[in-house]
Amino acid sequence: MFPMTATKMLTYNNRRLVPGEDFEAKSQRDLKVLLATRKAKAKRQTGEVPAPPEDVSKKIGAVTSTPEEELTQARAAYKEKFDKQPFYGWDVATLREKIEAAPETT
């Protein structure tokens, strides 16, 4: 048996089902047909996920900024240094390269 939820009005196994109603498909073939015609969707079964190991938790906690934050910071540094907007196609490495290659102004 395959648990499913109706997404459209349909008749299955001599029952009239309305959208949102749960039922069970009798065979793998019925499951495939109902999914292909988008008359129903498979219900997800919930399960327990164990906590990650301690070393993984430490690595996750060690990350201080996301790549988006790093890019935003590099763009801000470029704008401060050159007083103009950087090209938005540049990545963090290119921005840092351009900032370091610029002559110092006093």
Any residues with CB less than 8 A from the CB of 95 and at least 6 apart, and which? Answer: 71, 74, 75, 77, 78, 86
pLDDT in tens, 2-53: 999 999 999 999 999 999 999 999 999 999 999 999 999 999 878 898 988 8
The model's pTM:
0.44
How far, CA to CA in Å, does 63 sit from each of 9, 23, 44, 72? Answer: 49, 45, 32, 16
